[in-house]
Every structure is written in structure tokens, then in C-alpha cells.
Amino acid sequence: MIYLNGKFLPMEQATVPVLDRGFIFGDGVYEVIPVYSRKPFRLSEHLSRLQHSLDGIRLQNPHTEAEWADLIERIIELNEGEDQYLYLHITRGVAKRDHAFPRAATPTVFMMSNPLLTPPGELLVSGVPAITAGDNRWGRCDIKAISLLPNILLRQLAVDAQATETILLRDGLLTEGAASNIFVVKNNLLLTPPKDHRILPGITYDVVLELAKAHGVPHAVRDVSESELRTAQEIMLTSSTKEVLPITRLDGQPVGNNGAPGPVFHQLNQLYQAYKQEVMRAHVPH
């Protein structure tokens, strides 16, 4: 069951007019919220980021936080599976095709749930391969925009190279993955680029940094150069659906000494899994 413009209905019955600006222009934003044991993870943070994205495209939020929380509770109830991932999608609505904002259009609001399939245990043991590519996206990567053509093309480069992710470089600096944030370990220090217009402010990124801080993992948030990436002891990606995943090959070369997941990954992954359990037990929509 999905949610579309005020109604819950089966996916097959859900349709959107062809003049929807999401279809015509990719004029909209989205969110992905993981659900563990039927509880949304870090809900208020996801809703704040949604507000940031909506502000970024100058679209009024069609719902209050409390309304979103209700809709999200309903969609979880209507779908099976303890662990789900929710996809929320808001476009500027249906209007005669014209680049400028329509004077009066009602936003299209769509929500669906899919099973949450986090990476299988073997991948946490072996790690995954990644490649690098130039970051040719626009200047507002902090907006979670549905117009994902650059990300799609960049991610397909990884698929073509039988890799899991494409790590992006802009002006000699690491930005992020095509669909993830990136952390490296260099001189035993966990490093990740700052949250600015060059990257999506990842919810998992925040959790990892909070855990590093709380548990004394030496870390710094600062620009990371291409050479630091290429000579890193460890590389890992973070996202809501992949959680914390070690990258053990970069452009065909082993990462670190032996191309195996390292101690900082192991510690952060353990902390992340423990934190998830704690949040689920606490019964608070977090």
C-alpha cells in the first residue's frame, strides 16, 4: 500500500498526471527513512532535512511534523515487514509546462514502503569495491532533489566496473558517494568532509560522527584531498540503507595495507548496530 495525495491505495492503482512537474522537470524533493522493528529511525532529523530540501526549492511543506508522523505511522502499519524503508516524494504539482513556478499548484505527495535490505554479513567481512569519478553535479547537493540524473550516471559507472559505489572528487577534494557519504581513516584519524552545499547532509553521517565523539574515536570534519583518499588506511561509506560499509578496493587497488576492513570500521559498525538496538528498545520515534 502506498500513499498518494491524501489516500492510501495499492501501488497498481496509483497514477500521476503526465503534466506533474516531477515527471516533466524533476521538480521535487524526497526523503528515505529506515524503519527498524516497525519504528522510524531518526524521524525528526529526516523531517528537518525534508524541510531544508523544501526550503531549498522554495516549496511550502504540505504537512506539519505531526501530520507527517501520522502518515508515516499509517504507512508502516499498512505494510508488512519489521524493517522497511520509507520513500517520501513531494513535487511542485501539476501545471501547464513552464519553467517558472506555477501560480497555484497543489504539491503531489507520494509515499511508499519497501523492505529494508541492509548489506549481507559477507560484505562487512570482505568490504566492497569502489571507483572514483569527477563530481559533475550541481552546486546545491545539500538538497535531496528528485532530479538525480548526474547521480544515476555516476552510479552506473560503478555498476559497469563491477563496483558498489562511485566516490566523487571535485577540485581535488573528496565530496561524497553517488548515493552515500564517505569517511576515510588517515594517520589513525577518522576524516569526513564538512556538511555544506557540496554534499547531502547524511543522517547516517551524523550518527557516525556522534558515535565517534561519544566513544573517543579520534576524528575531524574537514576537507579531504584526493591523495588522502588514495592513501587512506580505511575507507567506508554511510547511508540509511547501507548503514556503515567498508570499501576495500579503490579503482582496482587494495585500500590500506591489505585491502581488508580495518579496526575503525569494526568499531563504528559495532557502535552503530548497538545504537540501533538501543533506539528500538527505547520505543521513541528517533
User: Which of 92, 94, 76 has the alpha carbon at shortest distance from 38?
Assistant: 76
For ligand PMP, which stretch binds (CB under 6 A), given 64-72, 77-85, 219-227, 237-245? 237-245
The least distance separating ligand PMP from the CB of residue 174, rounded to whole angstroms, comes to: 12
Residue with cell 559477507: 122
Cell numbers at residue 56, please? Answer: 531549498
Q: Which is nearer to ligand PMP, 4 or 179 (CB)?
A: 179
Q: Which is nearer to ligand PMP, 40 or 93 (CB)?
A: 40
Q: Which is nearer to ligand PMP, 93 or 177 (CB)?
A: 177
Burial profile 262-273: b = 16 or more Cβ within 10 angstroms, e = fewer: bebbeebbebbe
Q: What is the largest CA-CA distance in the chain?
A: 59
The least distance separating ligand PMP from the CB of residue 178, rounded to whole angstroms, comes to: 6
| Positions 240 through 259 that interact with ligand PMP (CB under 6 A) | 240
Rounded Cα distance between 59 and 92, Å, is 7
The least distance separating ligand PMP from the CB of residue 175, rounded to whole angstroms, comes to: 9
Residue with cell 557540496: 198
- Site size with ligand PMP, rule: CB under 6 A: 14
Q: Is 176 in the site for ligand PMP (CB under 6 A)?
A: yes
Burial profile 175-207: b = 16 or more Cβ within 10 angstroms, e = fewer: bbbbbbbbbbbbeeebbbbebeebbbbbbbbbb
Q: Which is nearer to ligand PMP, 164 or 180 (CB)?
A: 180
Q: Which is nearer to ligand PMP, 204 or 248 (CB)?
A: 204
Residue 201's identity, in one-letter code, is: P
Query: Applying CB under 6 A, which of residues 239, 249, 255, 276 lies at the interface with ligand PMP?
Result: 239
Name, in order, each residue with C-beta under 8 angstroms of 52's C-beta and a sequence gap of 6 or more: 142, 143, 201
Q: Is 181 in the site for ligand PMP (CB under 6 A)?
A: yes
Rounded Cα distance between 33 and 137, Å, is 23
| Positions 6 through 45 that interact with ligand PMP (CB under 6 A) | 32
Query: Applying CB under 6 A, which of residues 43, 95, 200, 247 lies at the interface with ligand PMP?
Result: 200
The least distance separating ligand PMP from the CB of residue 100, rounded to whole angstroms, comes to: 27
The least distance separating ligand PMP from the CB of residue 203, rounded to whole angstroms, comes to: 4
Q: Per-residue x/- marks for ligand PMP, 123-162, CB under 6 A?
A: ----------------------------x-----------
Identify whether 144 is a catalytic site residue: yes
DSSP code, position 12: G
Q: Which is nearer to ligand PMP, 83 or 260 (CB)?
A: 83
Cell numbers at residue 14, please? Answer: 496509483
Query: Applying CB under 6 A, which of residues 180, 192, 248, 269 lies at the interface with ligand PMP?
Result: 180
Residues that bind ligand PMP (CB under 6 A): 32, 151, 176, 179-181, 200, 202-205, 238-240
Catalogue the active-site residues: 144
